[in-house]
Structure 1
Amino acid sequence: MSDSDSSPSPAPGGSPLHPPSSGPSEAAEPTPDPAADPAADPAADPAADPSDQPAKKKRKRTKKKKAGAEPAAPDAKDPSTLATPSTLFVEGIPFKITEEAFSSFLASQGCPPASVRLPVWQDSGNLRGFGHVVFAEAAIAKKATDEIGGKNFPALMNRYLTFSPANAPKAPAAPVEREQPSGCKSVFIKNLPYDATEAIISDVFSVFGKIVPGGVRLPLVNPGAAEGEHSFGKIKGFGYVTFKEPEHALACVNKARKPYGVEVSGRPIMCDYDEKGEAGVKASFRTQDGKYWGKEFGEDKNKGGAQKRKGGPKL
């Protein structure tokens, strides 16, 4: 037997120089990694049975509480936490009665009010037919709603009153911050309570600096009202304050930019610079006691008396 006869015969379909593709090298090929090949992942195969895959548990994340931490108490100044169970908005008030007469009527029905805020027309001083009534207790407010609301009373000129809960006070919108005008000493204030006085405003704003004489100016609802009339001394809800130095006005406006930074009787006050200041006061402007501001504090305060004669020989 020759050496050629003893050599192994080539595998079918191949030759020693070209081995078949299904040889031992195919078995040594590494297993595909599902992470590297998404197509090889059984979970990515829509035809795969989900029941064959292990269920993944959702991880719950919990926030660890700090030792000794307590929930923050609700802010008493937050409008969402403010409730007004003892304040009612009332409609249907006769135009020809006074605020005092309406208060007396409520008291006669067993519902004495703690305070009454009824707006009036500027020209006539008559009531506008609506307003707010504050009672000392929520039970009294409920009694007024149940026993007075919707009923006819001759004392009210046969008008029907409608009571409804008052809306919670809203925090004032943040004012647009702007630079202080050069030399500006006056500020414009609004959202004042209607029963505010010049003395109250002076006490609140004097913490920022000295206020000049006559520096608190509160426009009146009926400037021509005589003392003793219903609308005498009633303000419109805004006004002006003039300080001695510009630094005082700057401190006032900066403080008022913070929520409830400046308050009058629990009401947040909005403040802004008033460029005109006392130069913008009209000659007809009156103080809260009915006097003309110009004669008391303005340029006219030295006028009205006899002028002194210049020195010189008598003629």
Structure 2
Amino acid sequence: MMLEPLSKESIQAILCKVATENEDVYNLIREKAGEDPAFRKLFVRGLPYTCTDEEFRKLFSMHGEIEEAAVIMDKVKGTCKGFGFVTFKDIDSTHSALETPTRPFEGREIHCNLAAVGHSVDGTTNDASSKPVDENDESLRKLFCRGLNYETTNEEFLNMFRQFGELEETNSTVVFDKTTGKSKGYGFITYRSKIDAMKALENPEKQLGGRTIKLNLASNDPKQGGSFEGNVALRKVFVRGLNYDTTQEEFQSLFQQYGETEDCNIAFDKSTGASKGYGFVTYTSPVSAMKCLEIPNKELDGKTIICNLAEKGKRSRPMNAMRQHQQQQHHHQTGYGYQQQQSYGYPQQQQPAYGTYPPQHKPAYGAYPQQQQPAYGAYPQHRPGYTYPR
């Protein structure tokens, strides 16, 4: 196929040029883009707590036909939580609504943006929300390939993998013996995009030169082999910063738009039943996980939540969430921050502000004192300082 050697960026440039010169092509592209609800769904915040679904729908109906519109209600109080979602039937109506991202409504100023994008109301980005997670992290873009036919040439090897995306060709090659000049039977492939690397890895076994070759991330132990789809570390996303009132349904609604999920749950305290402020999403495909992580900061329930591969944040992230949970629980029950007790992992006189460490005791990233190191996703059985007021 003629398009196979072209990169995604090259194809996009060609389509843009053709679309500006041909109305039929432009309409076709617009129609295809509109099929994805992510481009038609808006997140609206700043709503008055008295707002109803009917008033909310009426507010946005001036922009076009609405597929779905609902304010999010507090299940206990029965009132609006101050935000909602509206999905239009076509992408033009969505663009019309976004032309006025800030508007007055019943004495308040409300703001809207694409539900899947963490952009601020003026169109600028919030922190790193527009930057893909670890886009320059080679460990998610570089693949190890073993089982090559010793007669396979470097060009045959590269052609095999160009179909999945643009390569960093200077870092993609069959490995040859420097003395004999013969292939060693393995090689490396580095993609410019981690999503393209995931596409190549969706089927980790391929046929080349009459042999079955096997792929894995180069950062993994090549001897481990195994099915890439079974590698949960590249399909599991850790989500922190959740609103403690966010429901399971709201959480799943946001993350299932990126692909089919195997597991999608908020972490709840077994004793109190309250949210811990974080959750996990396991996709059935690593490609879906990478699509989710292209925009790591997202808006949900009036808060900016942050996503990362669970494996990368498996020690530091849940513990930070636990500290935040402790602080909010103590503040809620006592009217001030921590009680004057020993805080988790620190003597009283060295108790740090949330999210900081004293310079002289700053641990390595993701590391904890050996005797207190928690298992992934679990807390130590003995937690000094993790007490509630009587």
Shared fold by TM > 0.5? no
* Max Rg structure: 1
Greater percentage in helix:
2
Q: TM-score, normalised by structure 2?
A: 0.27
Higher relative contact order (CA 8 A, sep 6+): 1
Q: TM-score, normalised by structure 1?
A: 0.31
